[in-house]
Amino acid sequence: MKKEKLILVTNDDGITAPGIRTLIEAVKPLGKVVVVAPDSPQSGKGHAITLGFPLRMNQVDIFEGIEAWQCSGTPVDCVKLARDKILDQPADLCVSGINHGANHSINIIYSGTMSAAMEAAIEGIPSVGFSYLNYDYAADLSICKEVAHDITKKMLTTNLPPHTLFNVNIPNVDRRAYKGIRISRQANAKWVEEFDERRDPTGKKYYWLTGEFKNMDNGEDTDVWALENGYTALVPVQFDLTDFRLKRRLEEEWRF
Amino acid sequence: MKKEKLILVTNDDGITAPGIRTLIEAVKPLGKVVVVAPDSPQSGKGHAITLGFPLRMNQVDIFEGIEAWQCSGTPVDCVKLARDKILDQPADLCVSGINHGANHSINIIYSGTMSAAMEAAIEGIPSVGFSYLNYDYAADLSICKEVAHDITKKMLTTNLPPHTLFNVNIPNVDRRAYKGIRISRQANAKWVEEFDERRDPTGKKYYWLTGEFKNMDNGEDTDVWALENGYTALVPVQFDLTDFRLKRRLEEEWRF
């Protein structure tokens, strides 16, 4: 008899966000689902972990028939706790999201959604983060649900390397304009930030982060291009950050 | 007349840590130094940014003759604030550290020190993070100071690509055993975590992160090997996380 697949679900918007509920519905038919997610919004937390402070964890009954835990830490903490304290065997797959907002291109660096998935991939669990280019919690997530189901199913039925990690971003288009999934590379892009300078009631300055996304990449093989053209962008991601080209140059040129 | 170089200094241990003081001393002879660093320890913050909360920033007079600011946010917030609100021209180089503790191999993913440097590199400012394999704030940082000076000088006098980023880790050895700088790649390693489960005074459980570092890489060209053999490891780092090998495979094999 084929063993049921164990799927760990997490996110960074917090366990009560609509996106994680949709993700659970999307992957529930594919295996046994366990949810371990932050008890509060954790957007922009990157690969932060909690050092020097203890963590709390509580089982919650908010998804029918699904074991679910909320955790006081970051998305990465959730994955670490899941592995060490909750799952009695390694998960077969980790899915993270569905994030309310984009995590394409350079956003991967800041994204708690993707960091949670990356943490699982470091552990040797094939993982994927899903993000929707729409920040509205009331948005229609039906295309996202199908995409998450299809990609998760494909991952569970393909013999992938254990450290496989996908960054999946779904465009904010209606069904007629939606074109399907496109395997892409990370676009060369960045945020141009300006801090909004304000004064508090005592006259002291404070600063709010605001910013504008800037794509500097004209390639038609990027995630940004895919999204602008109605495709879901699937970027395979690695976490060996060595720049081998620069390494070779320095080995030739630099003497210490 | 040659223009003086502008060097942005930051860290993740906080502006009062001995490591940043040593780093300032190391790079002060090489240009004009401006310090923007967190007002509290921010270890393990990864590439976290502060969303949904305002930031505070105050000028402080704790380094003789050096303009210095402390910021309430993460290391990455510090770099963003420096660029937008403090520096009146782009920095020529960003140096981060000297971190009290290792940031080699997979630690780069969790490291606030390296994330601050990466944020500057994303901005097109050549950057470097320095870390010392010794967590003791009272440790002798004299080798670190020399390494930081030498590498910073080399970076300022080499025509490097704008997105250049180095992860430099300095071994915890005495001067006789120290062998110099070795250009390396990121070792394939991870943390095997166990959470220490305890009970608070009301009987409720809480969890402390503990862990053991595990190197799974036998290569003699890695940062872990360099450090174990008395070398400073210099790893050139990139932030395009696309896994191009897996991308090619999926393009051939996967049809949606």
ipTM for the predicted complex: 0.92
- B48–A110: do the CB atoms touch at under 8 Å? yes
Residue A54 located in a structural domain: yes
**Residue of B85, B122, B207 lying closest to A55 (CB–CB):** B207
Residue of A nearest to B245 (CA): A236
Residue B206 located in a structural domain: no
Q: pLDDT band at B42, cuts 50/70/90?
A: confident
Residues of chain B with C-beta less than 8 angstroms from the C-beta of A55: 195, 206-209
Residue A211 located in a structural domain: no
Residues 6+ away with beta carbon under 8 Å from B133: B101, B102, B104, B169, B170, B171, B172, B227
Q: pLDDT band at B2, cuts 50/70/90?
A: low
> Between residues 164 and 223 of chain B, which touch chain A (CB distance below 8 Å)?
164-165, 167, 180-181, 183-186, 188, 190, 193-195, 197-198, 204-209
- B84–A194: do the CB atoms touch at under 8 Å? yes
Q: Work out the average pLDDT over A250-254.
A: 93
Residues 6+ away with beta carbon under 8 Å from B155: B93, B126, B128, B164, B166
Nearest to B147, CA basis, from B25, B249, B8: B25
Q: Work out the average pLDDT over A204-211.
A: 92
Q: Please give the structure tokens belonging to residue A100.
A: 């309310």
State the CATH number of the domain containing residue A52: 3.40.1210.10
* Domain count of the fold of chain A: 1
> Between residues 47 and 86 of chain B, which touch chain A (CB distance below 8 Å)?
47-52, 54-57, 74, 76-77, 80-81, 83-85
**Residue of A47, A55, A57 lying closest to B110 (CB–CB):** A47
The answer to whether B128 touches B41, Cβ cutoff 8 Å, is: no
- A166 is in which domain, residue-wise? 6-186+219-253
Q: In this structure, what are the phi and psi dihedrals at residue B2, rounded to the nearest 5 degrees? A: -70, 130
Residue A208 located in a structural domain: no
> Which stretch of DSSP H or E encloses residue A131?
strand A127-132
pLDDT digits 0-9 by tens, A9-53: 999 999 999 999 999 999 999 999 999 999 998 888 888 888 888
Residue A44 located in a structural domain: yes
Question: Is pLDDT above 70 for B1?
Answer: no
Residue B112 located in a structural domain: yes
The answer to whether B205 touches A57, Cβ cutoff 8 Å, is: yes
Sheet holding A127-132, edge to edge: A57-60, A67-71, A32-38, A6-10, A93-100, A127-132, A165-170, A231-236, A180-183
Residue A214 located in a structural domain: no
Interface contact A115, partner B, CB < 8 A: yes
Nearest to B126, CA basis, from B99, B156, B97, B98: B156
- B84–A195: do the CB atoms touch at under 8 Å? yes
Best A56, A109, A169 member to test B by mutation, with max B CBs in 10 Å, is A109
